[in-house]
Structure formats: C-alpha cells, structure tokens
Structure 1
Amino acid sequence: MLAQQRYDRILELLNKNGIVHNAELVKEMKVSSETVRKDMDALEKQGKLKRVHGGALPVSGKQMQVQKEDYISLEDRNTSHMKEKAAIAAYAAEFVRENQAVGLDYGSTSLVMAKELARRFTSLTVVTNSIQNAVILSECPGFTVILVGGILDKKELSLGNDFSQTLESLHLDILFMSVSGVHPQVGLTDQGLSEARVQKQMCQIADRTVVLADSGKFGKASLVKLCVLNEVDDIITDSAVDEQIKEAVKQTGVSLHVVPAAE
C-alpha cells in the first residue's frame, strides 16, 4: 500500500469513527507501528488530524471537547438523576412486547429499566449480568431470568465474563445498554473492562440495541470504548442534553430520542 493510499484510508476511518487508534491501523493496513506513526505525523503537519496518545482525532474545530468521566459508586448512581432515568426507562419500555427476549446490562439506569419492565410486563425472558437486576426480576412469576455467569464485581454487583459461552447460544430481540459516556467522536464508553466484554457480546446477539443515557453522560468519555455511535440503533436521553452535543450525535446517523424528565 502506497503512502497516499494509507493517508486516504486513515482519513476515511477517522471520518467514519471520529477517532483512530494506532494499533488498529497497524492491523488494518498491515504495516509497522513506525509506519503508522510517520503517516500520522505527515497528516498532522498537513492539518488533517490531531494526534493524541495512541491515535488521532479530527482537527480542531471539528472535534468536540472530551470530558473525563471519573468513577462514581453504584450506591451514589442509584440515587442520582432518578427523574431523568425514570422518564428514559418509561419511553424505552414502549419498544418492548410481551414474550420477547430482552437484554439488560448493569448499572443504575439498567436497574431503573428492570423495575419498569417488572411493572409493565407479565411474560419476558431477560438476560442480564447484573445481580441487582436479577433480584428485582425474580419477583415476576412470568419472567425467565438468565443471569450470565462470570467473576463478581462487588462494587457494581455485576458479573464480568471472559470465558462463558452462554451468550453465544442466545438471541435477543432487544438490548438495553447503559454507558458512562456518550461522545460524538469517541463513541460509547464505560468503566468496566470485563463488563464491557459482556456488553459487546450482547450487542452481537441482539436485533436492536438501545442505549439508555441521561444527559449528564453526554460529551464524556470513560476508560473502555464499547463502539462508535452508529453501531447501535437508538440512544434515549432526557431534554437537558446540550444542543450542540445533541446535533453532533444526530450527525453520526444514530437515532436519538429526547424525552422530558418525569415530574
């Protein structure tokens, strides 16, 4: 592959994903890390991208500031932004039909969604890696609850899964995924490495993936990247989301639903 062909491919991926990673470019173009570094240097000198540690972002003016999302305990998250989370879950429940197979990951928003499903439906199969979700849903006689096995994260009351083949043999009609950060260029991010593997597996087996994220998650990025925004079907948030970020998210091609917070 000639240098200009590599430049074009790097810029193509940057335009598509909003970010490129050196390691991914090495595999994609089958070249050395030194070649990628030189290509990135050349493109930066041409003003076509901005290099960051481990990769590159679009040039200034096209990129949006990334706010670092520090860890907040599950206990605190289970009591914050509750009106917004309730409104998001109520809206999301309209996507579900009786007797469907539904995926839920872990976290505070996922817990609110589990409670909404328990309130509205009589017969669902729910696959989750959250112990607190499983406890709530176990009280529903007509629900089948599949708790994905793995190593217990005591802080998150979740199960991280590097080895189970359970998910490979399942199919989900819809997955509701909660995240720590929603950024137009970085994509969807979360805090747990092993939990992220479960989230990615669930995305692969779901017909539809819906992200539940209150407005406080927008413009932020956490440690673990899950995917770019247009790799999910829908994102549901509340009406306090910043207008600039809202428009930037829409431009990625994902369907963004904005709902007013419950009174």
Structure 2
Amino acid sequence: MLNDTDPSDRTDPTARRGRSRLLTRDRHVRILGQLSTMGSVRVSSLAAELDVSDMTIRRDLVELEREGRLVRIHGGALPSESLPPVAMDSEEPSFESRLHQRREAKLAIARLAAEIISRYRAIAIDVGTTTYLLASQLRHLQHAKIFTNSLRIATLLDGAGPDVYIAGGQLRGDELSVCGPSAIAQFEALWFDVAVIGVSGVTAEGLFDYSFEEADMKRVYLRRSALKIALCDSAKFQRMSLVNVAPLADIDILITDAEPPAKIAAVLAASGVELRVAGSSAAS
C-alpha cells in the first residue's frame, strides 16, 4: 500500500517534498492505469487501494482533469476521450409532438417497463410521453395502486383495473402535470414499491428535465421508492436541459432502446445501475 509520508523524511523538508511529488506521480500513474483498464474509476475504491483519503484522490482527479487526462464525474472519473457533443435543449416541445417522436422505440421501452413493474402493488408513475405509453400497458392490473402527478395518465387509467391516486396542486399547462408544494408534501408522505420517471436527457452527469417543478416531483419519486426506474429513448443520450434532476447513481434501472455511449455506460456500470435495452434479451 502507498502512504502519503515516510517517517525517514520528517527531518528533511526537501526530501519530504520530493517524496510527496513522487507519491503523487505514482498515484496518478495508478489512477490512469485503472482508467485505461476499467473504463472508469471511483474515488472510494481508489482511496482504499492507495491507502489515502478520499480528499487526496479528489485532488488527484482535479489535477489530472486540469491536465486533460480524464473527466471527473459524480464519485469518480472517466477517460478524457470526448463523447459525442452534448446538445442543450432550451425549449420543451409540446406533449403531442413528443408523443409522436420515436413512438415505436418508446412503446418498446414501455412494454419492457410494464413487464418489470406489473408484479408490484404501489406504483408511482411520473409525467412524460414514455410514461404515458407505459400507463397504457397497465390497464389490466387488478391488484395495483398507481400514484401519479399526470392528469393524462390518471384519465387514461380511469375505470380500468388499478386504483389511481393523483397528487393535488398547481396544474402545469400543456403537460397537464400537477406540481407545487402541496403535491410534493402529499407524495413525500408515501412509500412506493417502485417509481418510474421520465427524463428529457441523459449525460454522464445525470438525468435532466425542462421544468423545476416537475424535477422536484421526480426527486420525490426517487426518494420515496424502493425500486427506481428511469425511461429514456436513445435519442435523449447526450442531451441536457435546464435542470439536472439527479446523478445516474440515484436510479436502479435505466430502460432504453439502444446501447448508450461508452462513457454513459461506464457511469451506469460504476454506479451499479442495471441497463435494460428493449428488444435485447441481455441486460448489462
């Protein structure tokens, strides 16, 4: 194991400084070696392996990022080779236009999500077009209680098998979502078996959404659920919008229709997030 200091250096400041620089270089070599081999590194794992503090590793990562050797992410780092460029979406398209974009991919994602969550009883479903298509796959459920802040989803399920509960609060325009402090307080008092959220984009930095209000409710779903699932069609990879909802580590499963870019896949793997690709028999 490597140590930050050597007792023999304590009386010789010059030797101590030289030893510190050498140890720093050694750590950097080890960090970059692991990064090349594993595709990602975690602060906690590096600190344990190199017998230094998390803070020391974070300083190493800052220095290596400054040199262009890696890119820091939540809890670790990725190689510096560039991802496809991140696109910034400043305006939210209408619900109807989004519903018809990549509809077949979204339906495949919705069907896979339905297979996973159908066995649960208390199900929370976020607003969005893919979650709306998911709800259409759940009309047969007789045992379930479905909680949502989407009036569209509540209306779709009205009179069908599951019991439906909707949050009360401020109605948000075209999205027909219910948001605000009262809606958050109601659902914050509950505990769900599973929650499914939609997103406007996914990068190595996490999950994104257009609206502060809806992002707040998504975080409630993530905090108050035993199993946390995000739905994301592959066109949303490397896209970001106004609000960073949460790091990828905050979800348990990401369901999509195609393999994500390598760095997103590396963050998912490093964070212990299960990747499920609709239409693929294998999960990674």
Shorter-chain TM-score: what band?
A: 0.7 to 0.9
Matched, 1:181 2:204: no
Name the structure, 1 or 2, with higher relative contact order (CA <8 Å, separation 6+): 1
1:112 aligned partner: 133
Return the alpha-carbon distance in structure 2 between the equivalents of residues 162 and 230 of structure 1: 26
Structure 1 residue 161, shift from structure 2 partner: 2.1
Q: TM-score of the superposition, structure 1-length normalised?
A: 0.73
Structure 1 residue 58, shift from structure 2 partner: 6.8
Correspondence 1:74-113 to 2 at 5 A: 74-98=95-119, 100-113=121-134
Q: Is the 8 A contact 1:47 1:59 kept in 2?
A: no
Report the 3-state secondary structure (helix = DSSP H, G, I; strand = E; otherwise coil) of the residue aligned with 2:226: coil
Correspondence 1:1-263 to 2 at 5 A: 45-47=66-68, 60-61=80-81, 65-70=85-90, 71-98=92-119, 100-118=121-139, 120-140=140-160, 142-164=161-183, 165-183=185-203, 185-239=204-258, 241-242=259-260, 244=262, 247-252=265-270, 253-260=272-279
Segments of 5+ residues of structure 2 without an aligned counterpart are 1-19, 21-26, 32-39, 44-54, 56-60
Q: TM-score of the superposition, structure 2-length normalised?
A: 0.68
Max radius of gyration: which structure? Answer: 2
Structure 1 residue 154, shift from structure 2 partner: 0.9
How big is each residue's C-alpha offset from its partner over 1:28-51, in whole Å with a ceiling of 9 and x where there is no partner? x9xxxxxxxxxx997765546779
How big is each residue's C-alpha offset from its partner over 1:9-37, in whole Å with a ceiling of 9 and x where there is no partner? xx9xx9669xxxxxxxxxxx9xxxxxxxx
Return the alpha-carbon distance in structure 1 between the equivalents of residues 70 and 111 of structure 2: 41
Q: How high is the sequence identity, in percent, across the aligned residues?
A: 31
2:49 aligned partner: none
Report the 3-state secondary structure (helix = DSSP H, G, I; strand = E; otherwise coil) of the residue aligned with 1:117: coil
Report the 3-state secondary structure (helix = DSSP H, G, I; strand = E; otherwise coil) of the residue aligned with 2:137: helix
Report the 3-state secondary structure (helix = DSSP H, G, I; strand = E; otherwise coil) of the residue aligned with 1:201: helix
1:22 aligned partner: none
Return the alpha-carbon distance in structure 1 between the equivalents of residues 257 and 118 of structure 2: 23
Segments of 5+ residues of structure 1 without an aligned counterpart are 18-28, 30-39, 52-56
1:23 aligned partner: none
How big is each residue's C-alpha offset from its partner over 1:149-197, in whole Å with a ceiling of 9 and x where there is no partner? 22111121111223442112211111111101111x2211111110111
Return the alpha-carbon distance in structure 1 between the equivalents of residues 66 and 223 of structure 2: 39
RMSD, aligned α-carbons = 3.5
Q: Is the 8 A contact 2:249 2:268 kept in 1?
A: no
Mean CA deviation greater in 41-50 or 152-161: 41-50
Structure 1 residue 59, shift from structure 2 partner: 7.7
Structure 1 residue 220, shift from structure 2 partner: 1.2
